[in-house]
């Protein structure tokens, strides 16, 4: 899997790929990493990070091409530096809530207000999360050149329940979906038709 990830990141444009693949049982796949889009310290556009995969689950339920899309989706998170924006939002939220969480209720209420006022019906942290997933899906399908496997992988992840939540955010300790698997599939298909 590591070789595949290195290959995909090179295709995306990373020059030096220092990405490792590690096992996880907590989730199906996840990634933490960053890519510098310039040459630095003698390294050509370095991409650094870790991709976590539940290899047993993937091999049991997904085809080789579907696994390749899932890997490409994680590589897209690393190549497009998604961890920076999502970490920033977490830091802002923690800072606003205060050292002793004294502003917790006010901040949660503000997040709730975004449901009415923002076009996405999401607070900015959840909107960022959602847009990053859409982007990673699109880049993943693009770089593998295999929209069919991307769609079948996402359908399997949904368990054929299009209303199944994909990623989520929290409001007053409640888990709220940022988007459904159906929305992810529809966005991917609409984006690829336009391209
Ligand atoms: Zn993702």
Contacts of 45 (CB under 8 A, 6+ apart): 13, 14, 15, 16, 35, 36, 37, 38, 39
Q: Please give the distance, rounded to the nearest whole angstrom, from the Cα atom of residue 37 to the centre of ligand 1.
A: 20
Distance from Cα 100 to the centre of ligand 1, integer Å: 31
CA distances from 3 to 16, 61, 71, 92 (A): 13, 21, 11, 36
Spatial contact of 130 and 167, defined as CB atoms under 8 Å apart = yes
pLDDT at 174 over 80: yes
**Predicted pLDDT at 193:** 76
- Percentage of residues in the chain having pLDDT higher than 70: 99
Residue 119 CB partners (closer than 8 Å, separation 6+): none
Q: How many CA atoms lie within 13 A of 42 on its CB side?
A: 0
Provide the β-strand partners of residue 174.
171
23-77 tens-digit pLDDT? 999 999 999 999 999 998 888 999 999 999 999 999 999 999 999 999 999 999 9
Question: What pLDDT was estimated at residue 21?
Answer: 97
Two tokens at 62? 């997904």
Q: What is the three-class DSSP state of 171? A: strand
Query: How many whole angstroms separate alpha carbon 99 and alpha carbon 80?
Result: 31
Whether the pLDDT of residue 172 is over 70: the answer is yes
Q: In which band, very low, low, confident or very high, does the pLDDT at 192 lie, cut at 50, 70 and 90?
A: confident
Is the per-residue pLDDT at 146 higher than 90? yes
Stated as kind and residue range, the H or E segment containing 176 is: strand 174-177
Distance (angstroms) between ligand 1 centre and the Cα of 42 equals 30
Rounded CA separation 119/159 (Å): 29
Q: What is the CA radius of gyration of the chain?
A: 18
Residue 162 has pLDDT above 70, yes or no: yes
Q: What distance in angstroms lies between residue 52's CA and the mean position of ligand 1's atoms? A: 11
**Pick from 68, 82, 65: nearest CA to 136:** 82
Give the closest residue to 133 by CA, choosing from 175, 170, 177, 172: 177
What is the Å distance from ligand 1's center to 101 Cα? Answer: 29
The average pLDDT across 15-21 equals 95
Q: How far is the CA of 71 from the centre of ligand 1 (A)?
A: 10
Centre of ligand 1 from the C-alpha of residue 28, in Å:
10
- The per-residue pLDDT for range 82-129, each reduced to its tens digit, is 999 989 999 999 999 999 999 999 999 999 999 889 998 999 999 999
pLDDT of residue 195: 64
Q: Domain of 113?
A: 2-194
Question: Which residues are within 5 Å of ligand 1 (an ion), measured at CB?
Answer: 133, 136
Distance 119 CA to ligand 1 centre (A): 22
9 backbone dihedrals φ, ψ, rounded to 5°? -65, -35
Count the domains in the chain: 1
């Amino acid at each position: 899997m590591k070789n595949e990830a290195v290959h995909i990141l090179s295709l995306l444009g990373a020059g030096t790929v220092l990405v490792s693949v590690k096992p996880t049982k907590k989730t199906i796949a996840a990634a933490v990493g960053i890519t510098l889009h310039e040459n630095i310290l003698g390294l050509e556009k370095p991409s650094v990070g870790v991709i976590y995969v539940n290899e047993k689950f993937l091999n049991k339920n997904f085809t080789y091409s579907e696994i390749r899309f899932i890997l490409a989706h994680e590589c897209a998170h690393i190549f497009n530096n998604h961890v920076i924006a999502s970490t920033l939002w977490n830091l802002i939220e923690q800072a606003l809530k205060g050292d002793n969480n004294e502003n917790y209720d006010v901040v949660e209420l503000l997040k709730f207000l975004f449901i009415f006022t923002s076009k996405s019906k999401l607070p900015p942290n959840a909107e960022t999360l959602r847009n990053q997933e859409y982007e990673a899906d699109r880049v993943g399908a693009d770089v593998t050149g295999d929209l069919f496997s991307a769609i079948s992988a996402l359908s399997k992840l949904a368990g054929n329940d299009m209303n199944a939540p994909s990623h989520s955010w929290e409001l007053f300790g409640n888990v709220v979906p940022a988007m459904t698997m159906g929305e992810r599939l529809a966005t991917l298909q609409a984006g690829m038709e336009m391209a």
